[in-house]
Amino acid sequence: MDKYANKFANDPRLVNGIIDLYSNTFNEQELKDLLAFYKTESGKKFVKELPVIMQKSSQLGVEISTSLQQDFGREIQEILK
């Protein structure tokens, strides 16, 4: 498994794509500022916790959209009566 993970992480399409994404989003000074932040304790914690935050945010989004879909379905049924 590590072989494939390493192959994926080092794929030039991925590496170049991410470089393009960052360089199109941030200027040179902003990238330097981000690197400085990631070296701080807060930055290290942010990197460590970000996957959990993203997962929980995604779950929250699914829960809310499911609820809204159910509400919308009920409203449509009321209109069609």
Task: Note the pLDDT tens digit of each residue in 25-78.
Answer: 999 999 999 999 999 999 999 999 999 999 999 999 999 999 999 888 888 888
| 18 in the same domain as 51 | no
Task: Please tell me the distance from the alpha carbon of residue 20 to that of residue 13, in angstroms, as a whole number.
Answer: 10
Do 45 and 79 reside in the same domain of the chain?
Answer: yes
Q: Check whether residue 47 and residue 31 sit in a common domain.
A: no
Q: What is the pLDDT of residue 75?
A: 86
In this predicted structure, what is the pLDDT of residue 2? 84
The total of structural domains in the chain comes to: 2
* Residue range(s) defining the domain that contains residue 54: 41-81
The 3-state DSSP class for residue 40 equals coil
Full-model pTM:
0.63
